Amino acid sequence: MQHYTMNLNLKVWRQKSGTSTGGFETYSVSNISSEMSFLEMIDVLNERLIKEGGDPIAFDHDCREGICGMCSMVIDGRPHGPWKGTTTCQLHMRAFKDGDTITIEPFRANAFPVIKDLMVSRSAFDRIIQAGGYVSVNTGNAVDGNAIPIEKEKADDAFAAAACIGCGACVAACKNASAMLFLSAKVSHLALLPQGEPERKQRVVSMVAQMDKEGFGSCTNTYACEAECPKEISVLNIARLNREYLNASLSGS
């Protein structure tokens, strides 16, 4: 693949704190390699801002390998940017052209309050997990991986749901800021496995209640969440979540 450099204009959301008023600021960057990741490009800009005595742009990052889900940005109106099935940290600058103007914002949702600039708090997701995203564990030696027979189809579906990294792109993509895709992935992968059976009914009731308490919106089946999910979690999990919730509610859990 041919390597090239480009000059870009960036419109970046700047906000000093969650209680301050934010706005877009424009920056120019030059000689950006097409092989840089999007975060590396911002690193270059931040180095310049620091040398100039300015305030670097705050953004979340950790693994930079598409695993942790922290690199949450809305790029030109799309969570994580233009590449399908890709986190922001794995988005490379060859996705853009020389002279492009790129708009960069934080995820927008009342349940994801801005901390600073492009950083938002996704602690609401943590509280949803704390409400029921766990299984009963007997301490002692680890059980052999094949000790509990599980149908391949269920194992595959559980594995696919467990691929959710909790980045929040589904919330940012949804016009209602719904967390249903995230929640359905967490409920599904445990509901499909025998290890998740003891808390199965209480889990879904508690987690849905916590989701509602956090102020996320309702799902209206626009499928924007699936389209923008970097791990391509299926909306079929939402249907499974609804069945799990109905069954638990009818049984009085």
- Could you read off the pLDDT of 13-53 as tens digits, one per residue? 999 999 999 999 999 999 999 999 999 999 999 999 999 99
Cβ atoms 16, 43 nearer than 8 A: no
Shared domain check, 111 and 24 = yes
CB atoms within 10 A of CB 202: 13
Which residues is 6 bridged to in the sheet? Answer: 32
Cα separation, 169 vs 185, whole angstroms: 13
Query: Do residues 132 and 221 both lie within one domain?
Result: yes
pLDDT for res 218: 95
Residue ranges in the chain whose pLDDT is less than 50 = none
Last residue of a domain, one of 115, 141, 167: 115
For residues 141 and 229, membership in a common domain is answered with yes
The label of the residue with tokens 């742009």 reads 57
Count: domains in the chain: 2
Domain holding 111, by residue range, is: 5-115
Do 102 and 18 have their domain in common? Answer: yes
Let me know whether 100 and 209 are in one domain.
no
Q: Tell the burial category of 68 from Cβ atoms under 10 Å away from its Cβ (0-12, 13-18, 19+).
A: middle
Domain boundary at 67, 96, 115, which?
A: 115
- How is residue 76 written in tokens? 């030109």
CA distances for 106 relative to 80, 144, 170, 244, angstroms: 10, 43, 13, 33
Domain boundary (93, 115, 137) is at 115
Task: Tell me, yes or no, whether 74 and 173 share the same domain.
Answer: no
Helix, strand and coil percent figures for the chain, each rounded to 5 = 40, 15, 45
Say yes or no: 137 and 225 in one domain.
yes
Is residue 8 a contact partner of residue 31, using CB atoms and an 8 Å limit?
Answer: no
In terms of domains, do 145 and 226 share one? yes
> Which pLDDT does position 124 carry in this prediction?
98
In this structure, what CATH number is given to the domain that contains residue 94?
3.10.20.30
The pTM score is: 0.93
Residue 128 sits in a domain of what CATH number?
1.10.1060.10
- Say whether both 129 and 228 belong to one domain: yes
